[in-house]
Structure 1
Amino acid sequence: MNMISITKAAKVGLAAFSLAANVSIPAHATSDTLTVVVTDEPKSLDPCDTDLSGNSRILRNNITETLVNLSPIDGTVTPSLATDWRQVDDLTWEFKLREKVTFHDGKPFDANAVAAALKRAQDPALACEVGLATLKGVKLSPEVVNPTTIIIRTDVIEPILPNKMAALDIGSPDMPNDAKTRAPVGTGPFKLLEWLPGQSVALQAYDGYWSDKPSIKNATVIWRAESAVRAAMVETGEAQIAYEIAPQDGTSDHDHAFPNAETSLLRIDQDVAPLNDRRVREALNLAIDRDGLIGTIFHENAEKAMQVVTPSVFGYNPDIPAWTYDPEKAKSLLEAARADGVPVDKEIVIYGRIGIYPNSSESLEAIQAMLADAGFNARLEMLETSPWLKKLLKPWAKDRQPSILQTQIDNTEGDAVFTLPNRFTSDGNTSSIVDPKLDTIISDASKATGDERKRLFQEAFKYIAVDAVNIVPLFHMVTIARVASDVNYTPDVQAGNEIKLKSVSYR
């Protein structure tokens, strides 16, 4: 399949969903209500599950807040519920907390609440996403000094602990400690009014909020899988902001394209034959015409990825070459593997997630055709979010089929430690690679500082992409958001994880 045929197929297949370039965006119904439409329903609204973007975009800095935030401009650590912090020694940090802050249930925010949130996030019985991902590999032991001072001790050197605290959303200590909650209580500018499963999440401005009050008093988040539907809802006034608009739908003056810190890829399950042969994994990469996908199925500003983080992330390796499109070499690698007894004709399942990004199904249909052209026996299976998460997260069935999984990895925190441990170490909750050498590189990098930290993280990215070939990197992504003409809102690089309702107002 060449670039011309991909382009033609993409345009024909997508044309039916296109919207007119010059749409008329009607005025809002009332000045204090807002409707936002996203791709899918949150999996959880528990404050300890914000490592999944579908959850954090509703919770983070809307319902719940963290000790610190990270600047969307340069990733620097900025105050939030903590006003100051310092490293006491290699294993000890002190945080000073904001005074006169209350949770939505009236309970005071203090050091005891932070300690409870830390203990809850690390409880194995709760299986919190933040504990399984961002906080993985380090034990955090809180010590309450006084209501406005907390000491956090680590069992290993953690040079960027404040950055990691930007991932710990803090809920009321009165929330259950032995189970996940569907009724989060935070300190944010909005409180949860109602979660109607399968329909919507309703938020209401919190009168007792400690900082500037939001202009929007009532916000509703709804979800629709189809890009064209989301775009049309803003056109008709059913919504004022719509995320993840597909390139063919995002052609009006009200559509804003921006880099979103996400990298799209296919994760290879390399434990299962024939994917346990490196030649087969290399052939997967050579069989995909990435140039032909840009500007057709993916946004024209998407960039071919060499690794799973963007160039702005500390530890990014600029010396990893992008894969070239070489289906003939892919065929020869498969033939060589076949000659050695590798079952290359075995069916490989491509697991996709409906709505993970615009044209997600179309992208995999094109990739499936490319793989078939190179000699793979690939079958596509598109999944809703819940069954897809079962393929993403461990444990996996021992007798599973060989598979590759459509996924995205985002890193708005600015350091490779927020990407590598959970996704590429032997005990990582989403990792499909078991390699002691890689484990050591990532562990050593996580403890290091400065140039040594960068060097080791760069080594890890090279090992994953070039030596192990554990992934099929695709693109550093671009998102389109449609915003009604009378709404003040500028999406930033964090928009995939945070809706930031407090920043929205009407003109």
Structure 2
Amino acid sequence: MRKQAYTFIFMIFLIVTTACSPETAGTDTSDKKSNNKGAEQANKTDVTIAIEADAGTLLANTDVNYTTDVQIRNIYDPLIDRDPKTGEVIPALATEWENIDEHTWEFTLKEGVSFHNGAPFNAEAVKFSIDFILDEANNSFYRSRWVDVQEVKVIDDYKVQIMTSAPFPSMVQRVAEDLLIMEPGYVKEVGLDEAAKKPIGTGAYKFKEWRRDEHLKLEANEEYWNGKPAIKDVTFRYVPEFGSRLSSFLSGEIDLFKNVPVDSVENIKSNQNAKIESIGSSRVNYVALNNFFNGPLKDKKVRQALNYAVDVDELLETVLNGNGTKMTGPLAKINLEYTETEGYQHDPDKAIALLKEAGYEPEDLNLTLDTPNGRYPMDTQVAQAIAAQLQRIGIKVDVEVNEWGNHLTKIRQREMGDMFILGWGPAFEGQSTIENLFTEAAPYSGFYEPAVEEEIKKAIPLFDPEERKKAFADIQHLLVEEAAWIPLWQQADLYAVHKDLQFHPRVDERIQVFEMKW
């Protein structure tokens, strides 16, 4: 009884300190400390955006990493974009596309578009950009998504065909999510290292300056094919700590940042020059139960036990203040192939029984849980709360907090321990999530079982929509049975925005400065 009482007191303390933690509480937002410069905004032509980490590279089609992608999409354009509100695919550098047969896709390209150095955009640039992904020497983290592409064929200057070795029904999704167009002549002339530092694209903004771990500066492309940008100068400033981002925002040094912790929303709203913008994201958040690591989580019963022991409803209520949509499987409801799955209800007794069936007493387990700090809303606080929930049944959990870039490196290099927190998005269709997070070769996978991968391989080439949806539904149920993850929630994106900046969050999380103005 005494042990139970201590546990209850500890949890009350955790919840209180989580809701008021110094790391997310920020600074005083009273009027005396607010940035009272509203009258000056009418003449502003620049914007400063704070993000959590530097880009891994400025070379397109290389780094599967949100902080890289969100910056370089202002420099490079895609062939296919997404509608900011719905996520539906829409034309960009490609005006139309056609599935000629199961092995051939044809794209018609926009004419009259130029790269920042004046070179023409054409089919050769598209071929070069895809061939770059396919070339193993380039070490593109996108390559595993494109391995079935056999050849890119230039039909004429403004028409290109992508030929595949196997049926590739998700080609449009792959092009929309992955592919950005590079200038072949420039890359060949200066080499990959220089092109990765001083990029050239067709986008709304040109490269100006990049100082590692400090900032990236861009300037407007006045010849942009889609019109002149209203914002003329852009600075992406790298500010890893939330408290520093908030202080800089309230003092007027930055105009916009994403991933506001829920316990700071009212502080920002109370500032006379600030507002909160929000949108239901396509990103999913989860705890990977890492069976690449040689530990207890190789046993399915242990993974199932952890699912029963973690109370996601409590996490949503006490740590996220309800800002998220609970998931029971690997896909969010916004996903094209989503199917309803029967999740693990919170049942500590069932968790203990499963551990004993696997040959463990709860007290025998000392697990690790890796988390980034400030990459996702309340990520460190969520990790600490999960550790406390597992402690309730006797499992000891050591929480390790990583800088974001190091967190990704540890996942890619298979250096993670038992569990790690990660988000994945945009996640609009099943293959891009399931193939990339549950197969052996995928760089961000934390789970692999041969039987599951075999089912994934069977589902990928299915063109018939009903057959494809059923196949991915079966895989979702299988992954829940295998307890590959502890699914958490579909993320709610919260942005701190200067009150005079016209900014509307996108469902795909991209921050397109071309869409903003003062």
TM-score by structure 2 length? 0.89
Choose which of 305, 326, 329 in structure 2 pairs with 1:304.
Answer: 326
Q: Distance in 2 between matches of 1:65 and 1:277?
A: 45
Q: Is the 8 A contact 1:66 1:169 kept in 2?
A: yes
Gaps of 5+ in 1: none
1:417 maps to 431
2:25 maps to 17
Q: Distance in 2 between matches of 1:168 and 1:16?
A: 35
Q: Secondary structure at the match of 1:275?
A: helix
Distance change (3 Å), C-alpha of 1:208 and 1:189: same
Q: Distance in 2 between matches of 1:159 and 1:192?
A: 35
1:156 maps to 166
Aligned partner of 1:34: which letter?
A: V
Shift of 1:232: 3.1
Shift of 1:274: 1.0
Q: Secondary structure at the match of 1:174?
A: helix
Kindly report which structure 2 residues correspond to 1:324-343, keeping only aligned pairs within 5 A, or say none: 324-338=345-359
Q: Distance in 2 between matches of 1:144 and 1:257?
A: 42
Distance change (3 Å), C-alpha of 1:32 and 1:371: same
1:206 maps to 221
Q: Distance in 2 between matches of 1:293 and 1:14?
A: 19
Choose which of 229, 232, 236 in structure 1 pairs with 2:247.
Answer: 232
Q: Is the 8 A contact 1:7 1:292 kept in 2?
A: no
Aligned partner of 1:45: which letter?
A: L
Shift of 1:374: 1.8
Q: Is the 8 A contact 2:362 2:394 kept in 1?
A: no
What CA deviation, in whole Å up to 9, does each residue of 1:296-324 have, x standing for no partner?
Answer: 32242312211232101111111x12332
Q: Is the 8 A contact 2:279 2:493 kept in 1?
A: yes
1:358 maps to 377
Shift of 1:18: 4.7
Q: Distance in 1 between matches of 2:87 and 2:399?
A: 37
Q: Is the 8 A contact 1:50 1:169 kept in 2?
A: no
Shift of 1:249: 1.1
Q: Is the 8 A contact 1:52 1:129 kept in 2?
A: no
Q: Secondary structure at the match of 1:216?
A: coil
2:279 maps to 258
Q: Distance in 1 between matches of 2:71 and 2:60?
A: 10
Q: Is the 8 A contact 1:316 1:458 kept in 2?
A: yes
Q: Distance in 1 between matches of 2:172 and 2:224?
A: 23
Q: Is the 8 A contact 1:426 1:433 kept in 2?
A: yes
Choose which of 489, 496, 503 in structure 2 pairs with 1:482.
Answer: 496
Identical positions, percent: 24
Q: Does residue 174 of structure 1 match 2:196?
A: no
Q: Distance in 1 between matches of 2:148 and 2:321?
A: 38
Q: Distance in 2 between matches of 1:331 and 1:474?
A: 21
Aligned partner of 1:321: which letter?
A: E
Distance change (3 Å), C-alpha of 1:16 and 1:114: closer
Q: Secondary structure at the match of 2:295?
A: coil
Q: Distance in 2 between matches of 1:263 and 1:310?
A: 6
Distance change (3 Å), C-alpha of 1:222 and 1:145: same
2:288 maps to 267
Aligned partner of 1:120: which letter?
A: F
Q: Does residue 218 of structure 1 match 2:225?
A: no
Shift of 1:20: 5.8
Shift of 1:434: 2.9
Q: Is the 8 A contact 1:349 1:379 kept in 2?
A: yes
Kindly report which structure 2 residues correspond to 1:102-501, keeping only aligned pairs within 5 A, or say none: 102-132=114-144, 134-135=145-146, 137-166=147-176, 167-176=178-187, 179=192, 181-251=196-266, 252-253=268-269, 254-271=275-292, 272-318=294-340, 320-338=341-359, 345-394=364-413, 396=414, 402-412=417-427, 414-448=428-462, 449-465=464-480, 467-495=481-509, 498-501=510-513
Q: Secondary structure at the match of 2:142?
A: helix
Distance change (3 Å), C-alpha of 1:455 and 1:314: same
Q: Secondary structure at the match of 1:109?
A: coil
Aligned partner of 2:153: which letter?
A: E
TM-score by structure 1 length? 0.91
2:272 maps to none
Distance change (3 Å), C-alpha of 1:302 and 1:145: same
What CA deviation, in whole Å up to 9, does each residue of 1:242-298 have, x standing for no partner?
Answer: 111111111244012221211111111124221111121112112222222224322
RMSD (Å), alpha carbons: 2.3
Q: Distance in 2 between matches of 1:44 and 1:293?
A: 35
Distance change (3 Å), C-alpha of 1:405 and 1:15: closer
Aligned partner of 1:478: which letter?
A: A
Q: Distance in 1 between matches of 2:218 and 2:424?
A: 28
Aligned partner of 1:309: which letter?
A: L
Q: Is the 8 A contact 1:304 1:322 kept in 2?
A: no
Q: Is the 8 A contact 1:348 1:377 kept in 2?
A: yes
Q: Does residue 75 of structure 1 match 2:92?
A: no
Deviates further, 330-339 or 375-384: 330-339
1:7 maps to 15
Q: Is the 8 A contact 1:308 1:409 kept in 2?
A: no
Deviates further, 383-392 or 182-191: 383-392
Q: Distance in 2 between matches of 1:460 and 1:125?
A: 33
Q: Is the 8 A contact 1:230 1:243 kept in 2?
A: no
Aligned partner of 1:333: which letter?
A: L
Shift of 1:356: 1.9
Distance change (3 Å), C-alpha of 1:393 and 1:343: farther
Shift of 1:139: 1.8
Aligned partner of 2:99: which letter?
A: Q
Q: Distance in 2 between matches of 1:343 and 1:358?
A: 30
1:43 maps to 56
Q: Is the 8 A contact 2:296 2:302 kept in 1?
A: yes
Q: Distance in 2 between matches of 1:14 and 1:321?
A: 37
Q: Is the 8 A contact 2:24 2:242 kept in 1?
A: no
Aligned partner of 1:454: which letter?
A: K
Q: Is the 8 A contact 2:56 2:63 kept in 1?
A: no
Q: Distance in 1 between matches of 2:459 and 2:24?
A: 49
Aligned positions, number: 492
What CA deviation, in whole Å up to 9, does each residue of 1:123-148 have, x standing for no partner?
Answer: 1121212223x42x422411111111
2:3 maps to none
Q: Is the 8 A contact 2:122 2:158 kept in 1?
A: yes
Q: Distance in 2 between matches of 1:343 and 1:209?
A: 61
Shift of 1:195: 0.8
